[in-house]
Amino acid sequence: MGTVALVMAGGLGERMRASGRSTPKPLVRVRGVPLLERNLYAILRAGLEEIVVSVPADVPTIGAFIEDRGTALATAAGARLETLVEDRPLGNIGCAGLLRDRTDEVLVVYADNLTTLELGAVLDHHRAADAALTLATHVETFRSPYGELSAEEGYVVDYREKPEHEAVVSSAISVLGPPALDAAAERAPLGLSDLFHALRRRGHLVADLRHDAEWVDVNDVEALKRAESMVAADPGEFDLWREPPPREVDLALVVGRAGVVVSTGAGGRWTLPDAESVGGVSGTEARTLAEFDDLEGGEITRVRVVRIDADVDAPALDGMRWCPQDELLRESDAAGLASPLIRALAAATSFGSGELVERA
């Protein structure tokens, strides 16, 4: 039986909602790509071919995303993806027990986390450790919001203002072997900490994979900003996930006073025009904006995007039109825009500004 990758995508994101965002947390975009999709990239990059995504029954938009975009990505990569709908809450690890009859090994990731940790390395560590459960862990630094005192025999002997402390924390990536899957199948709801304690009571080993990879739990707008910065700083880890890419295309983001030049792509969605087709647009020299792997024509494709700041607002190009920037930005989560256009807009947009970066 092969390894099954389980993506936990049940979070509604109450803290994210409190920050003013209504999108379900797994579908919040980081540099134009939903968190859930970025986790699928990491799984497919590790070569896993069986993927299950656990979704809540009362948030149909997450399941719809899996059935559409998620399935298309998995199919293009030669993998199989299915949705596990939780009709009742099973805890943050309980649904792993439902997979016990089909596998002896489950890799679990959470859709609201992003990391550069290689999932293949996590599996290798688990197998070498011969453990019932493997937990990926890292060191986090926390700053106390209070002054911290030390006292002896009724007298204060030290006073540290808002000190920092380090703690080893769970990276929310785990591998469950047969004993862990058996324990998860016994009861639900079940949390990851509950599973750990159940295994320890039975004398099983739990392996610690300590790492120093980049990691962020995207729970609020401040964490989202950190995720945006993390992806922007290391696009090779997050945006180039298929080597070698079967296809390569060059697209262009043409920006002018009238907005952005768009063309009609597959399914009638607005997308970026081919770079060669806008060669007659007068403007500044094209500058590389972004490079990423995406779906084009149902195939995984390495997309290179250049940005052209046009001196004119009405290029005589068939099948294209100028679209106002605010209109595109309002529709950045809508089905009317193809993924390469959304990602190019995200790469060219200052976080939270709602406007494209000014022309150089």
Q: Classify residue 266 by burial, with Cβ atoms within 10 Å: 0-12, 13-18, 19+.
A: exposed
Question: What H or E segment, with its residue span, contains residue 122?
Answer: helix 119-129
Per-residue pLDDT of 168-219, as tens digits, reads: 999 999 999 999 999 999 988 999 999 999 999 999 999 999 999 999 999 9
Determine, yes or no, domain membership for 115. Answer: yes
* Band of residue 320 on the pLDDT scale cut at 50, 70, 90: confident
* CATH code (residue 291): 3.90.79.10
The identity of residue 51, as a single letter, is I
Q: Are residues 43 and 183 in the same domain?
A: yes
269 and 195 co-located in one domain? no
Q: 179 — phi, psi (to 5°)?
A: -65, -40
More confident residue, 201 or 334: 201
Q: Are residues 21 and 73 in the same domain?
A: yes
Express each pLDDT in 249-298 by its tens digit: 999 999 888 889 998 877 778 899 998 888 666 666 778 999 999 998 88
Domain boundary among 192, 214, 238: 238
Residues 88 and 232 in one domain: yes
Which CATH number covers residue 33? 3.90.550.10
pLDDT tens track for 76-113: 999 999 999 998 889 999 999 999 999 999 999 999 99
CA 17 to chain centroid, in Å, comes to: 18
Q: What's the rounded Cα separation, in Å, for the pair 19 and 114? A: 19
- Exposed / middle / buried, residue 282 (Cβ in 10 Å: 0-12, 13-18, 19+): exposed
Helix (H) or strand (E) holding 16: helix 14-18
Quote the CA–CA distance of 350 and 271 in Å, as a whole number: 20
Task: Report in angstroms the alpha-carbon separations of 46 from 21, 125, 241.
Answer: 31, 14, 9
Is the pLDDT at 359 greater than 50? The verdict is no
Amino acid at 120: G
Same domain, 134 and 205: yes
Same domain, 199 and 316: no
Same domain assignment for residues 38 and 176: yes
Say whether both 39 and 174 belong to one domain. yes
- On whether residue 358 sits in a domain, the answer given is no
* Count of positions (residues) in the chain: 360
Are 42 and 124 within one domain? Answer: yes
Question: Where a domain ends, among 192, 220, 238?
Answer: 238
Is residue 341 a part of any domain in this protein?
yes
Same-domain status, 86 and 133: yes
Q: Do 116 and 40 fall into the same domain?
A: yes
Q: Which residue range is the domain that position 273 belongs to?
A: 247-348
Number of domains comprising the chain = 2
Q: Could you give the angle at which helices 178-186 and 192-201 cross, rounded to 10 degrees? A: 110
**185 and 43 in a common domain:** yes
